[in-house]
Every structure is written in structure tokens, then in C-alpha cells.
Amino acid sequence: MDIAEALVAQRGFNAFSYADIAAEMNITKASLHYHFASKSELGTKLINRYHETFMVALEAISHETANAGARLRRYVGLWLEVLRDDRMCLCGMLAAEYSTLSAPMRIALKSFMVRHEAWLAGVMRDGRDRGEVTFEGTAEEIAGLMIGALEGTMMMARAHNEIDRFVLIIRRMLGGLGVAWEEEAVS
């Protein structure tokens, strides 16, 4: 699963095969088919595992940090960590290939996106209610805007091979919400 996740995050779902995983593990493709009957089954399990891991990270942020600004800094720090590891967001990569994914993968991907966006909208709503962030529109609109901006900025930073480009954009994005960027707070 770790190898498959890394391949998706680096290449995309359609750009790897069981042969790639088998070669990395020095096993046969048949051994992989024993555990995952199809690539679609593997992909669905990857999404579900990523979803669970990501939600655990978001819940940790919620429990460890009360202030919305601090939560947002830690949240974007998750994205920065992925980029520094020379990876992309797994579900962002899969969303780019959405039309080619199986129905179970699409359902799992949508579930991830809905819960992710709901968590972020909750942070926005609570933060605005407490005067910790400022924005116009609904919390859901801002959450969608922020996720889209992070996905796009991550792609641009990778295409330019400049992590500083990502940091510049997230600093401006957070600043627009009234949140100062403090990189040491996310590391």
C-alpha cells in the first residue's frame, strides 16, 4: 500500500501498474492479485486509508489547537510537508484522473473531499464566530476556495520546482483571512 500510494502521489493512478509494485517488492504480480483482485480495489483501499490517516491528522489539529489561525497554519503545514517530500496530495492526483477511475474509487474520493471540506469549513465558521479569521461569503465557499488554491499552488510549485512559491501563496492566502504565517508553527 505504501509503494502504491507513493507511486500515485508521484505519477498518478494511471501511470503505474502492478508490475511497478511487484518489482519494488521483488514479488510476482500474482502475489499482489492475491491481496488486491484488481487495481480498482487497490485504489479504493488507498483512498480509504489516506482518508482515515488525513482525518486523524485533522482531528489532532482540532484537539491540540483551539485557535483557528493556529489550526489553519498547521493545516497548510500538512500540505507543505507533502510537497517537501516531493509528493502531491494523493486525492488531488486522483481527482485529476476522476473520469478514468472506477465507481468505487469515485465514491471513496468524493467521501474524502466532502469530509475534508466540512472539517475546514468548521474551522472557518468557528474562527469567524470567535473573531480569529475574517472572510466574506460562507465558510463552505472559503473552504472550497482554500482547498482548490492549495491543490493548484502545489501543482504550480512542483512544476516550477520552487517550494518557496507555495509558501508565498499560502502566506498571502492566510493573510487574506487575517492569519499570520509562522512557518516554525507548522514544522
For the ranges 78-92, 128-142, 170-184, the maximum mean pLDDT occurs at: 128-142
Q: What interhelical angle do 139-160 and 103-129 show, nearest 10?
A: 120
**Segment 125-143 mean pLDDT:** 97
Instruction: Enumerate residues 6+ apart whose C-beta is below 8 A from 125.
Output: 139
Residue 119 lies in a domain: yes
**pLDDT tens digits for 110-132?**
999 999 999 999 999 999 999 99
Lowest-confidence pick of 10-19, 115-124, 133-142, 167-176? 10-19
Average pLDDT along the chain = 92
Residue 86 lies in a domain: yes
Residue 33 lies in a domain: no
Residue 14 lies in a domain: no
What's the rounded Cα separation, in Å, for the pair 187 and 183?
6
pLDDT in the model for residue 21: 92
Instruction: Enumerate residues 6+ apart whose C-beta is below 8 A from 56.
Output: none
**Segment 4-9 mean pLDDT:** 89
pLDDT at 187 over 50: no
**Alpha-carbon Rg of the chain, whole angstroms?**
18
pLDDT in the model for residue 62: 96
Domains in the chain: how many in total? 1
What's the rounded Cα separation, in Å, for the pair 2 and 187?
23
What's the rounded Cα separation, in Å, for the pair 138 and 132?
15
pLDDT in the model for residue 183: 66
Question: Which amino acid appears at position 56 of this protein?
Answer: V
pLDDT at 88 over 90: no
pLDDT in the model for residue 29: 87
- Reference 144, options 174, 113, 167, 165; nearest CA is 113
State the pLDDT confidence band at 184, using cuts at 50, 70 and 90.
low
Residue 15 lies in a domain: no
Q: What percent of the chain is modeled with pLDDT above 70?
A: 97
Residue 138 lies in a domain: yes
**Segment 56-67 mean pLDDT:** 96
Residue 84 lies in a domain: yes
**Segment 62-83 mean pLDDT:** 95
**Segment 87-92 mean pLDDT:** 87
**Segment 125-147 mean pLDDT:** 97
135: domain CATH number?
1.10.357.10
Question: Which amino acid appears at position 37 of this protein?
Answer: A
pLDDT at 167 over 90: yes
What's the rounded Cα separation, in Å, for the pair 173 and 151?
13
126: left (phi over 0), alpha (psi -120 to 50) or beta: alpha
More confident residue, 114 or 90: 114
Residue 158 lies in a domain: yes
Print the domain residue range for 124: 39-182
